[in-house]
Every structure is written in structure tokens, then in C-alpha cells.
């Protein structure tokens, strides 16, 4: 809408991506701050609370009355703020909205099923959930490839030229990036605010990369590829603002959890941002906390199946530190520090070509 006003009324300031990104940030933040407390009260009245896994550390049982599905609020706020500020003719921005919608719907279905706790709605089966994620990622990848006609070259950090053109194999990489990141953020969302800050930091880093790639002069100066993807920054900015507002209520002790509705959508969107910014490999560093959490689960399961021994006291790794009697706030803040430092390194790599 704002870009339409720019064209209709010749308001030049609304033509700048940076201005509209700032507006989308505060719109999403304000909307989330307004509607999240209302949602929390509704969730408490209807007992829409977080089911606690019986295998989780004992002290997690005190969180059993905490409302969940907060992701519905901040993702909806993100979408509203984005629709008010993006340029609709930009297909990459449309792809970003599509990613958020599809994965929020998958997460909501899983959350709603868990809350109902009936025999037929005990949560999506792992294979069903994964199949839905792969199908959604396939739709997004097809949209990028055949509708947006997105470049399929493969880039590595520190190299100014692409290694090769992936062709149809790009779809495999893109689906893997979206689904893997979606599940990685979902695994990380186990402590109050643990997933929120690393997500905000990753969104900030990827937004800088996308803005640089979308700007013809900056991309040339940094020896980056140039694509017309700048509008996606507006959606990333809106999601950052919404997450800041969500963190106000999600910091320890949490008043609400994001649930799969939020974590699956955030992860998928981060994967999407990595794809359009040609940062699929750099995403390993940008999302270092998510990678560490996922690897801890893979190593734990693999070790137990092969050796009948556990590497960690409990996986994901944040539970390991809980079992070692670390305070929850200490685990959270230290993981935040790791996320911030790894993203600083990722940003430094932009100038090394």
C-alpha cells in the first residue's frame, strides 16, 4: 500500500526500501504488542497451553500452564505489516509471504492437535509433518524457479564468482535449506526466549546481505551477485519487529510460547532468505545455534543406536546443560552470545572476496 501511495501521490520517501522496512518493523511490533496480551488471556481461558514432554527435565513441568501458539500472533502481525509496505509486483517478496503462510499453517495444525490431546489429534506424526514441510518447500522452490525465474548458480562464501549452475538440482538444495532450518529452529525452541534472539540476529544479518545484493552499487562494491530482491528486507524487518514484541512476553519466565506455529515459520523463512541471498552455505554460520542444537540431536540418536551410549545427558544440547544444573537464564544468554558472535563473523566475510 505504501509503495502504491509513493507511485500515486509521488511521495518519494516511500519509494525507499529502508524507509518502508523501518515502518514495517514498528507496525509489526505495535500489532504484536497489542494483540499478544489479548491472545494470552484467551489461551489461558481456553486452556490452550503448552504440553510438556514427559522426557523433558523435571523443572519444565512448571511450564505446563503456559499458553502456546503465540507464533500465530507475531506471524500474522508480520504478514499484515508486510502487505502494507511491500511492492506487490516483486515476486521475491511474494515468495517470502508464501513461505510464512504455508509453514505457519503446518505449525498451527500440529499445535492445535497437541492442545486438543484427543486420540485422533495427538499431534502430527513425524512423517506426516515432514511430508507437509517438504511439500510446502517444494511449492516455494517451484515458485522461485519457474515463476520468479530465480538464478540457480551455486555460490560459496569468500568467492566472488559462482562455482557452477545447479540447474534442476537447485530445487533439492532449496528444499533442504528450508526444511532443515525450519526443523532446526523448532528444536531450539525449548527454553524461554532461546530461539527468539538468534532468529532476530539471523534476520538482521540476512537482511544486510539481501539489501546489499539488491542494491546495484553496493553489490558491485562488495563483489556480490545482484538480484532484485531488496523488497524481501521489508518482510524480514517486520518479522524482527514482531519477534522483539514477542520476546517481551517470552523472556524468562515466559508468559507465552511461540509453538510450532512460530518456530517452523521462522526457520523456513530464514531458509528462504538464505536461498534468495545465495547464502545457503553461510547459513550454517548465521544459524550456528540452530545447527549446534540439531547436531546434538543427530549425534545423540546416532551414538545410542550404534553404541548404546549417550554423548549428552539429554538432547537437544540446551537440555544437557539443564541436567548439569545450569540456570535457565545462563544457558539462554550464553547461547545468545554465541549467535551474535557467529553472525558478526558472517558479516565480516562479506568484504572478503
For 154-208, what is each residue's pLDDT tens digit? 999 888 889 999 999 999 999 999 999 999 999 999 888 899 999 999 999 999 9
Residues 6+ apart with CB under 8 A from 183: 130, 133, 264, 267, 294
Residue 343 domain-assigned (yes or no): no
d(CA 266, CA 188): 12
Predicted pLDDT of residue 47: 77
In the chain, beta strands by DSSP E = 153-154, 164-165
Residue 330 domain-assigned (yes or no): no
- Burial of 47 by CB count in 10 Å (0-12 exposed, 13-18 middle, 19+ buried)? exposed
Predicted pLDDT of residue 118: 44
Query: First CA to last CA across the chain, in angstroms?
Result: 38
d(CA 210, CA 6): 22
Predicted pLDDT of residue 96: 97
Q: Domain count for the chain, please give it.
A: 1
Residue 251 domain-assigned (yes or no): yes
d(CA 152, CA 279): 12
Decide if 60 contacts 314 (C-beta within 8 A): no
From the list 248, 328, 313, 289, the residue with the least C-alpha distance to 63 is 328
Q: What are phi and psi of 36, to 5 degrees?
A: -65, -45
Tell me the residue range of the domain where 240 lies. Answer: 2-51+65-281
CB atoms within 10 A of CB 145: 17
Residue 77 domain-assigned (yes or no): yes
Stretches in the chain below the pLDDT threshold 50 = 118-121
Beta-bridge partners for 67 = 49
Residues 6+ apart with CB under 8 A from 334: none
d(CA 344, CA 273): 17
Residue 300 domain-assigned (yes or no): no
Residue 112 domain-assigned (yes or no): yes
Residue 287 domain-assigned (yes or no): no
Residue 298 domain-assigned (yes or no): no
> Which pTM value belongs to this model?
0.94
d(CA 25, CA 22): 5
Predicted pLDDT of residue 119: 40
Predicted pLDDT of residue 6: 57
d(CA 86, CA 1): 7
Helices (H) and strands (E) in the chain, counts: 14, 2
Amino acid at each position: 500500500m505504501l509503495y502504491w501511495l509513493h507511485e500515486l501521490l509521488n511521495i518519494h520517501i516511500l519509494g525507499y526500501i529502508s524507509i518502508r522496512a523501518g515502518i514495517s518493523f514498528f507496525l509489526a511490533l505495535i500489532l504484536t504488542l497489542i494483540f499478544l496480551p489479548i491472545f494470552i488471556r484467551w489461551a489461558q481461558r481456553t486452556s490452550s497451553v503448552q504440553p510438556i514432554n514427559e522426557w523433558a527435565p523435571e523443572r519444565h513441568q512448571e511450564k505446563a500452564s503456559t499458553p502456546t501458539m503465540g507464533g500465530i500472533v507475531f506471524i500474522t502481525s508480520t504478514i499484515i505489516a508486510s502487505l502494507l509496505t511491500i511492492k506487490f509486483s516483486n515476486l521475491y517478496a511474494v515468495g517470502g509471504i508464501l513461505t510464512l503462510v504455508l509453514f505457519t499453517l503446518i505449525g498451527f495444525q500440529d499445535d492445535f492437535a497437541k492442545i486438543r490431546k484427543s486420540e485422533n489429534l495427538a499431534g502430527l506424526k513425524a512423517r506426516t509433518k515432514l511430508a507437509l514441510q517438504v511439500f510446502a518447500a517444494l511449492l516455494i522452490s517451484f515458485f522461485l524457479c519457474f515463476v520468479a525465474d530465480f538464478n540457480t548458480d551455486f555460490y560459496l562464501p569468500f568467492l566472488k564468482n559462482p562455482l557452477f549452475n545447479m540447474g534442476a538440482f537447485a530445487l533439492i538444495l532449496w528444499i533442504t535449506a528450508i526444511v532443515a532450518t525450519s526443523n532446526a529452529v523448532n528444536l531450539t525452541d525449548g527454553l524461554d526466549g532461546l530461539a527468539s534472539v538468534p532468529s532476530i540476529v539471523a534476520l538482521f544479518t540476512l537482511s544486510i546481505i539481501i539489501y546489499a545484493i539488491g542494491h546495484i552499487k553496493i553489490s558491485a562494491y562488495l563483489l556480490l551477485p545482484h538480484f532484485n530482491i531488496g523488497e524481501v528486507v521489508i518482510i524480514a524487518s517486520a518479522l524482527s519487529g514482531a519477534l522483539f514484541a514477542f520476546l517481551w512476553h517470552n523472556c524468562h519466565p515466559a508468559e507465552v510460547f511461540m509453538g510450532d506455529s512460530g518456530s517452523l515459520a521462522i526457520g523456513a523463512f530464514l531458509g528462504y532468505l538464505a536461498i534468495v541471498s545465495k547464502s545457503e552455505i553461510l547459513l550454517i554460520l548465521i544459524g550456528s545455534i540452530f545447527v549446534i542444537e540439531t547436531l546434538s540431536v543427530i549425534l545423540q540418536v546416532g551414538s545410542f543406536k550404534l553404541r548404546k551410549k549417550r554423548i549428552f545427558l539429554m538432547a537437544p544440547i540446551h537440555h544437557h546443560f539443564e541436567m548439569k544444573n545450569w540456570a535457565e537464564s545462563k544457558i539462554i544468554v550464553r547461547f545468545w552470545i554465541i549467535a551474535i558472535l557467529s553472525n558478526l563473523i558472517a558479516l565480516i566475510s562479506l568484504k572478503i572476496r
